[in-house]
Amino acid sequence: MYASVKKMTGWYLGVGMAALFIGGSIGPFQKLEHVGINLYPSLQSVGLNNYYQGLTIHGVLNALVWTTFFIVGFLTFTTVHSLKRELTHPKLNWASFYVMVIGLVMAAVPVLLNAATVLFTFYPPLQASPYYYIGLTLVVIGSWVGGWGMFLTLRAWRKENPGETTPFIALASNITMAMWQIATLGIAIEMLWLIIPWSLGLVDGVDPQLARTFFWFTGHPIVYFWLLPAYVSWYGMVPKQIGGKLFSEPLARLVFWLFLLLSIPVGLHHQYVDPGVPQGWKVVHAVLTYSLFIPSLLTAFNVIASLEIGGRARGGTGLLGWIRTLPWDNPSFTAQNLAMILFAFGGIGGLTNASYNLNLVIHNTIWIPGHFHLTVGSGVTLTFFGIAYWLVPKLANKPLFSNKMALWQAWTWFVGMLLMSNGLHILGLNFGAPRRTMLGIAPYASSDWQPLLIEAALGGIILGVSGLLFYINMIGTVRSKQTLTEAIKMPVAEPMEVHPTPAWLDTWRPWVVATLVLIAVSYGPLLVYLISNLNMTSPGFSNLWGG
């Protein structure tokens, strides 16, 4: 069924996974460098020149490429399977894929040549080859086009089914893509107005403060663009996979609308220490960031309640006895549940980050990579692995190569990430160890750091092994000679109680208008201030790393 989207999703996932394979393999080298084992000189034969080039590849391929390709592919798939209708314009969605691939290649070449060693946040005045920026911009534009293909399909469905409530999975997937379209306006302006002309040499200088502000306009909501597809699965699919029901579907819809509303106007929580941003606006964004906890805590409540319904339906009793009866032999569930647990710790750390004054303690320390490996590196990536454990067999029409290996993969990721993130968090909080630094040669590195660095390195190596198990399983599945005896269907959770969905939870206009108004209020005056004090004065700095 839905042959066009099947092939397309396969391609998106394949490119995303290939990116993660390369980006992920560099992780263990970083951790080894921190304990003084510098393998980069011996990696020059494969084109890896130094730690910072490796870190750029790691960040760009993992955080930007793996996520975006997986998400656009997955959400195209979920839109079609949830609406139970083909894409209205499959060519448009294919165009999205090709534009993204062209952009990826354009950005990857300079990165691999050490001509774009500017890390995944590409803050000016560090300057990369223009191809890097143009390539990344094309990836974003491609993802927009993919979103348009989904919106047109949803619109057609609504016309064909007047008066019907949009199925939850399709609604949630499209809200995620709509949020992304608005969120990426910041990076689009940063690239087209400030960075690309400057990297092409058309203008001499750039305004780093304004560029950072546009970057974080997109850079915060991007984390929810990564997270929300995982939430689509936690709400919309996991309850079905465990034989339970979704505790409250209206609440789940409300959560997605709240993320549309609140994801964007909070970017300044990445800029608390920026001298050029007036303090009052930082406080406004801090308060709005706290309000973002509401949809996440609603999610924790709703998802755990759904897990409990499933566990009890399987015969679990007692206060916590239902946890044991969950299907721990199902790798798709296990990976996602372990992802949720890791994500809860990442979320708690997020509260620390968001607290204006506490942020000063951990900002730019290695605590931050501790935080985002629990969120995007676990909550998101381990969930995507869990999804791949049913979706790739479905797309390939072949059984999963090894159930047992997949279970090992999920648990080793869990243990590796616990060790690594624990080490990183404590190093940042207690010792102020900096992030993005060759700690192995830092003269100020104290011997007190060593046990924690070793703990983190051990975690990193376990994660490397876990990653390999994932890839063996994926390749084994795709190359298997067996075919499925029974077709796999996308799991779709039923709500525990069927209530008619209130109209305001299935109406776009008020939510989109409110979102735009809140952005205008929280960013408008600040942008007017920064633009009226425009300082296009900084030249570019490049080749700092011996490129």
Q: Which residues of 54-67 are buried (b: 16+ CB within 10 A; e: fewer)?
A: bbbbbbbbbbbbbb
Say how far apart CA 198 and CA 537 lie, in whole Å: 11
> Are 530 and 276 in contact, with CB atoms under 8 Å apart?
yes
Q: Does the active-site annotation cover 225?
A: no
Catalytic annotation, pick one of 220, 253, 269, 270:
220
User: Rounded distance, CA 492 to CA 476, Å?
Assistant: 27
Helix ranges, 184-292 (H): 185-189, 196-199, 208-219, 221-236, 238-241, 249-262, 279-291
CB of 269 to Cu ion, least distance (A): 5
User: Which residue, 93 or 289, is less far from ligand HAS as judged by CB?
Assistant: 289
When CB distances are held under 5 to 8 angstroms depending on the partner's kind, the choice from ligand HAS, Cu ion, none that residue 102 binds is none
405: which residues sit within 8 A by CB, 6+ positions away?
469, 472, 473
Question: Distance (Å, rounded) from C-alpha 302 to C-alpha 322?
Answer: 16
270 near ligand HAS, judged by CB under 6 A: yes
Query: Does position 306 bind ligand HAS by CB under 6 A?
Result: no
Given 4, 25, 88, 121, the residue binding ligand HAS (CB under 6 A): 121
What is the C-alpha to C-alpha distance for residues 71 and 142, in angstroms, rounded to an integer?
Answer: 12
Among the listed residues 8, 13, 187, 303, the single contact to ligand HAS using CB under 6 A? 303
Rule CB under 6 A: say whether 117 interacts with ligand HAS.
Answer: no
CB 422 within 8 A of CB 433: no
For ligand HAS (CB under 6 A), the number of binding residues is 35
Is 224 a catalytic site residue?
Answer: yes
3-class SS shares of the chain: helix, strand, coil, % to 5: 75, 0, 25
Per the annotation, the verdict on 373 as an active-site residue is yes
Span of 143-151, 287-295, 403-411, 530-538 interacting with ligand HAS by CB under 6 A: 287-295
- Tell me whether residue 273 is exposed, middle or buried, using C-beta atoms within 10 angstroms of its C-beta: 0 to 12, 13 to 18, 19 or more: exposed
372 is catalytic: yes
Interface region with ligand HAS, contact rule CB under 6 A, candidates 12-20, 289-297, 398-406, 447-455: 289-297
Secondary structure (3-state) at 266: coil
Contact call for residues 339 and 399 (beta carbons, < 8 A): no
Q: CB of 346: closest distance to ligand HAS in angstroms?
A: 6
Interface region with ligand HAS, contact rule CB under 6 A, candidates 22-30, 137-145, 335-343, 443-451: 335-343
Residue with smaller CB distance to ligand HAS, 153 or 336: 336
| Among 86, 92, 83, CA closest to 158 | 83
> Is 81 a residue of the active site?
no
Q: Are 244 and 307 within 8 A, CB to CB?
A: yes
495: which strand partners? Answer: 246
The residue number with the shortest CB distance to ligand HAS is: 347
Q: Which does 340 bind (CB under 5 to 8 A by kind): Cu ion, ligand HAS, none?
A: ligand HAS
Tell me which of 373, 384, 385, 414 is the catalytic residue. Answer: 373
Q: Let me know if 272 is a catalytic residue.
A: no
Residues found near Cu ion in the complex (CB under 5 A): 220
Contact 96, 69 (CB under 8 A): no
- Catalytic entry in 74, 215, 259, 372: 372
How many residues in the chain?
A: 547
Which 3 state secondary structure label does DSSP give 294? Answer: helix
**Count of CB atoms within 10 A of residue 493's CB?**
25
Report which DSSP code applies to 496.
S
CA distance 152 to 120: 32
* Candidates 371, 389, 425, 470; catalytic one: 371
Query: Which of 138, 170, 368, 400: binder of ligand HAS (CB under 6 A)?
Result: 368
Catalytic entry in 253, 435, 470, 523: 435
- Residue 307 binding ligand HAS, by CB under 6 A: yes
313 counts as binding ligand HAS under rule CB under 6 A: no
Residue 330 engages ligand HAS in binding (rule: CB under 6 A): no
Can you tell me the distance from the alpha carbon of 173 to that of 82, in angstroms, rounded to the nearest whole number?
10
Residue 380 touches which member of ligand HAS, Cu ion, none, C-beta under 5-8 Å by kind: ligand HAS
**Which of 18, 3, 95 is CA-nearest to residue 62?**
18
Q: How far is the CB of 172 from ligand HAS (least distance, A)?
A: 14
Name the minimum Å distance from CB 31 to ligand HAS: 17
When CB distances are held under 5 to 8 angstroms depending on the partner's kind, the choice from ligand HAS, Cu ion, none that residue 296 binds is ligand HAS
- In whole angstroms, the minimum distance from the beta carbon of 92 to ligand HAS comes to 28
Pick 103 or 221: Cβ nearer ligand HAS: 221
Structure tokens at 28: 């263990």
Distance CA 311, CA 316 (A): 5
> What, of ligand HAS, Cu ion, none, does residue 339 touch, CB below 5 to 8 Å by kind?
none
Q: Which is nearer to ligand HAS, 293 or 545 (CB)?
A: 293
The residues carrying an active-site annotation are 220, 224, 371-373, 435-436
Q: Which residues bind to ligand HAS, rule: CB under 6 A? A: 121, 223, 226-227, 269-270, 289, 292-293, 296-297, 299-300, 303-304, 307, 323, 337, 340-341, 343-344, 347, 350-351, 353-354, 359, 363, 368, 371-372, 375-376, 380
